[in-house]
Chain A
Amino acid sequence: MKIPYYPGCTLKSTAKHFEDSAIESAKKLGIEFVELPRWNCCGVVASLADDDIMHHLAPVRNMIRVLEMNRDGLVKNEKRLLTLCSMCYSTLKRSNQRVNELIDDLDVLNDFMYKEEVNYDGSVKIVHFLEILKEMGFDKIKESVTKSLENLNVAAYYGCKLLRPKEIGIDNSEVPIIFEDFISAISAKPVDWRNKSKCCGSFLTVDNKDVVVELGYSILTNAQKSGADIIVTTCPLCAYNLDNRQKNIKEKYPEFKEIPVVYFTQLMALAFGLSKEVTGFDGNYIDPVKLLKSKNIKV
């Protein structure tokens, strides 16, 4: 299956190991990511002010590229646009939702982009990789597992953007299960914990680090108390706030014990027996390799 793929800015730099592990794991499952030609930044955060149509331009332009890919035969009748990053997923999906609900806004945007060869018609569907995996059937993922992670207790961290607002969430916003099902499918053990969808502080990490330290401390210690050895995430911003910011947490709370935070695709690549170049554990701030070795998992 060939599917249009939107990487977003951070997956090409600090979260390269997220992209690499996702692409290679998907290949094992017979999914080929076809990167959007000439994709542009989605804007990271959704435009929320009612009169702010301009900031929907960037997301909608990416959707035009999907239509062009179909026109040019890069994909066959595949109008789903796959995302890995939670922020991209949310921003693209919320813009898509708005132009589908408010047709006048879509007209304004299409008029503005008169130099584009194709008008956007609202027909693209934004999907997250986890949704595609669920649709394929988690049983199929189980079949591809060659390295057991059964000793590994994993806390699935949804964060905000995969679940809220409810209208665009990939699962129930209060009691989600899709991520835990995924973890079971790759043979690891999901733990149940309270802070799985608590906000990590998001972009406040730039000018209000103290807030992020407090939220991170609360999220990470809750995962540890619930028996987690490792946390998995789908978002490069959550990853930065929960992984890299552990050094700031440690400064404020010296008794805090570090816990690795990795992308869900890194664990999938590991379970599929892919090489260490693909799993990319050297890209994580807190080294997960030591933990994995202590659990008798060869990295």
Chain B
Amino acid sequence: MIKRVKIKSSNRDFLKKVETLSGEDITVCDRCGVCTGSCPLTIEMEISPSNIMKMVQLGQEDVMDYNSMWVCSTCNYCTARCPRGLDVSKVTEALRQIKLRQSFDKIDIDKIPKEELRELPQIALIGAFRRLTS
């Protein structure tokens, strides 16, 4: 069965927003899947990096309902290997930023067990708070 996707102006606006925040020309992506094949975290993601690109190309805001953008550790395998020279990690950052700039926090510091907090090095805490809190 053919699934028809209707692109509305709100979809175009979302694509434009992600392109502005990421600085990446997202429509250039061929969806070849090299990012998905290279990503060590694909296995933990509800949708793969190339599917993130597809949904953003189509302007589908519900791309942010999946865990994928929060699982990306920005290890830059996708960046190093994309045959189109795109940086998918900047796209996941743009998606995170859209949420974070609405005062959304992915981590709740009160829910981190006390003994973990005592043991975690600064580098882990600062990195996580920078990427995952508003």
Known contacts A50-B21, A198-B40, A236-B121; is A203 also within 8 Å of B76 by CB? no
Contacting pair A50 B23 (CB below 8 A): yes
Contacting pair A204 B128 (CB below 8 A): yes
Query: Which of the candidate stretches B8-16, B48-56, B57-65, B87-95 sits at the interface with the other chain?
Result: B87-95
Query: Which of the candidate stretches A67-75, A158-166, A250-258 sits at the interface with the other chain?
Result: A158-166
Shortest beta-carbon distance from B128 to chain A in Å: 4
In the complex, which residues of chain B have a beta carbon less than 8 angstroms from the beta carbon of A199? 40-41, 73, 75, 77
In the complex, which residues of chain A have a beta carbon less than 8 angstroms from the beta carbon of B119? 244
Residue of B nearest to A211 (CB): B44
Contacting pair B123 A9 (CB below 8 A): yes
Interface size bucket, A side?
A: 35 or more
> Which residues from chain B sit less than 8 Å from chain A, CB to CB?
20-23, 40-41, 43-44, 70-71, 73-77, 79-80, 87, 89-90, 93-94, 97, 106-107, 112, 116, 119-128, 130-132
Please indicate which of the listed interface residues B21, B43, B74, B119 has the most CB atoms of chain A within 10 Å of its own CB: B74
Shortest beta-carbon distance from B78 to chain A in Å: 9
> Which residues from chain A sit less than 8 Å from chain B, CB to CB?
8-10, 13-15, 41, 43-46, 48-52, 55, 85, 87, 160, 163-166, 173-174, 198-199, 201-208, 211, 214-215, 236-237, 240, 244
Majority-rule SS of A interface residues: loop
Top 10 nearest A-B pairs by Cβ distance? A203-B127, A50-B23, A199-B75, A164-B76, A206-B128, A48-B93, A203-B128, A160-B75, A44-B127, A202-B73
Please indicate which of the listed interface residues A203, A205, A215 has the most CB atoms of chain B within 10 Å of its own CB: A203
In the complex, which residues of chain B have a beta carbon less than 8 angstroms from the beta carbon of A45? 74, 127, 130-131
In the complex, which residues of chain A have a beta carbon less than 8 angstroms from the beta carbon of B75? 160, 164, 199, 202
Known contacts A45-B131, A164-B79, A199-B40; is A87 also within 8 Å of B123 by CB? yes
